[in-house]
Amino acid sequence: MAFQGKNESVDIKAQAHVWKIIYGFADSLVLRCAVELGIFDIIDNNIQPIALAELASKLPISNVNLDNLYRILRYLVKMEILSYADGSKKYTLEPIATLLLRNQKRSMVPMVLGMTQKDFMTPWHSMKDGLSDNGTAFEKAMGMTIWEYLEGHPDQSQLFNEGMAGETRLLTSSLISGSKDMFQGIDSLVDVGGGNGTTIKAISDAFPHIKCTLFDLPHVIANSYDHPSIERIGGDMFKDMPSAQAILLKLILHDWNDEDSIKILKQCRKAVPKDGGKVIIVDVALDEESDHELSSTRLILDIDMLVNTGGKERTKENWEKLVKCAGFSGCKIRHIAAIQSVIEVFP
């Protein structure tokens, strides 16, 4: 034996840790398989725990091999998404599975399908090539930027936008409930890069006194929600943006490097008044020493930006430096019940 006693125990733990890392992709793709098959929705709609054969009969595929299905379900139990009901071999949902139901307001299904789509996983294999200064891993793998890719691939763009909308729905309720005092003091707001309008619609509904505007690229605005209380304007945030008391940048600056982020912030500074104006950034505020349950996910998001957009997630010190380089006096960070934080920036 190469190891004896305590050393053998340490070696086994080390091997287990490395094996878990090696097969980390398996969790994502088993989850995708279950979502695509509608397993969680089938169990939820069944009202009571469901047996293997009955579940198989309700899947949207024919000739289901019961042993193969059992092995997938066994792993979902190990992932603590499913469980066995009362010691039987019938399956029921764990509370976490409510985030994986398609009809739930806070469903994470769009993120599961978007993040694990083949083309979006390909650039991760080119990560080492993206460490140079001449392009991201996405560009090296796909031959174009992620934005060019999405513009030229409508189906993938829709999947990407659905994933972003799903993340937005998850985030927006926490943003509103955790920042009521901030929104109550605002009379006009422009959501820059606001996509289909999910966030600005929720803010308008929660705070009807705010004059709300959605601003994004013209082709995005064309596919956004038409809401009677929200003005929709197409344009380019690098060139100009509508004026308001407050500008909202939600999940925007992490897509861009510091140089481009400063350009965007300088346009924001032109759009808000010096007295009483502010920019509201909703993005990750990294704390590299934190043991918070979302800390690892925040660092993964930073690698996501490295691979796909050339952007980055930022620490408190990064944010303070960035906003001052753009000509603002400073910023204040408030944490909400989400991966992201709210960074209030003042002229």
CA distance 313 to 320: 13
pLDDT-derived band at 3 (thresholds 50, 70, 90) equals: very low
How far apart are alpha carbons 226 and 250 in whole angstroms?
20
pLDDT recorded at residue 6: 58
Q: At the topology level of CATH, where does 163-346 sit?
A: Rossmann fold (3.40.50)
Least confident of 70-84, 283-297, 318-332: 283-297
Query: Which long-range contacts (C-beta less than 8 Å, at least 24 apart) are formed by 312-318?
Result: 312/254, 312/257, 312/258, 313/254, 313/283, 313/284, 313/286, 314/253, 314/254, 314/283, 314/284, 314/285, 314/286, 315/285, 315/286, 315/287, 315/288, 316/285, 316/287, 318/286
Conformational region of residue 36, where left means phi above 0, alpha means psi within -120 to 50, and beta covers everything else: alpha
Long-range pairs, 309-312, Cβ under 8 A, ≥24? 309/136, 309/138, 309/146, 309/254, 309/255, 309/256, 310/135, 310/136, 310/256, 310/257, 311/253, 311/254, 311/255, 311/256, 311/257, 311/261, 312/254, 312/257, 312/258
CA atoms within 13 A on the CB side of 85: 11
pLDDT, position 1: 39
Could you please state the CATH topology (level 3) that the domain comprising 8-99 is classified under: Arc Repressor Mutant, subunit A (1.10.10)
The residues that are catalytic are 254
Whether 169 and 195 have beta carbons less than 8 Å apart is answered as no
Quote the tokens at residue 303: 């690698």
Average pLDDT, the chain: 92
Q: What is the pLDDT of residues 170-223, one digit of tens each?
A: 789 899 999 999 999 999 999 999 988 989 999 999 999 999 999 999 988 988
Assign 4 a pLDDT band (cuts: 50, 70, 90): very low
Domain assignments of the chain as residue spans, ordered by start: 8-99, 163-346
Digit-coded pLDDT (tens) for 56-82: 999 999 999 999 999 999 999 999 999
Q: What percent of the chain has pLDDT over 70?
A: 98
Distance CA(150)–CA(140), nearest Å, equals: 16
Q: Are 142 and 118 in contact (CB under 8 A)?
A: no
Q: Give the integer Cα–Cα distance in Å for 267 and 141.
A: 32
- State the residue for tokens 């094996």: 19
